[in-house]
Amino acid sequence: MTTDVKPSSRERLLEAAATLTYREGVNIGIEALCKAAGVSKRSMYQLFAGKDELLAASLERRASAYVAGLLPAADDGRAARDRIAHVFERVTSQSADPEFRGCPYLSAEIELKDPDHPASRVARQVKADLTSFFRAEAEQGGAGDPDFLARQLTLVFDGASARAGIGAEHLDGFLAPTVAILLDAAGVR
């Protein structure tokens, strides 16, 4: 048996923090996090320096899975335009889940309101990575101004997840054609 039946305390804490802060917001209490993780507060404070660091670590841990769930495979042979569209198809399908509350990294930055908070730094980096992906694909796709297009796509990504996350917009059949307009205008074929 190579798979543990029960993840480590550290992993359970990170998982609980990711789940609960996403659902309830970053103001969720330490007590609730530890209870959900089945870990004592004492142990939590031996594993993490404090709430801020736990929060940052939980966002960071999720980052690779989050980005992986959004981005297409590194080289799937598809055209840049399709690879960009893939990201927006993913967020569209994610938004169909009633538990969807928008991009956790955007929410964290908005809720924290402190760019120096460790979790804000992690969130910023995740967004920067997404923009970098867009920029690379835009370049690959022959966009007239790849940087400009990448920023537009990130803006649309955040706007779409924010609005879908608060239940104000329904992305299916809406987001893809909107993105297509920007890709067309940028000369990505």
The distance of closest approach from Cβ of residue 59 to DNA in the complex, given in angstroms and rounded to an integer, is 15
Near a second copy by CB under 8 A, which window of 5-13, 60-68, 70-78, 171-179?
171-179
The option from DNA, a second copy, none interacting with 160 (CB < 5 to 8 A, set by class) reads a second copy
The contacts of residue 18 (CB under 8 Å, 6+ apart) are: 58, 59, 61, 62, 104
User: Hey, what amino acid is at 169?
Assistant: E
The option from a second copy, DNA, none interacting with 29 (CB < 5 to 8 A, set by class) reads DNA
> From residue 11 to residue 50, what is the string marking binding to a second copy with x (rule CB under 8 A)?
------------xxx-x-----------------------
Q: Is 134 a binder of a second copy (CB under 8 A)? A: no
Nearest residue (CB) to DNA, 49 versus 128: 49
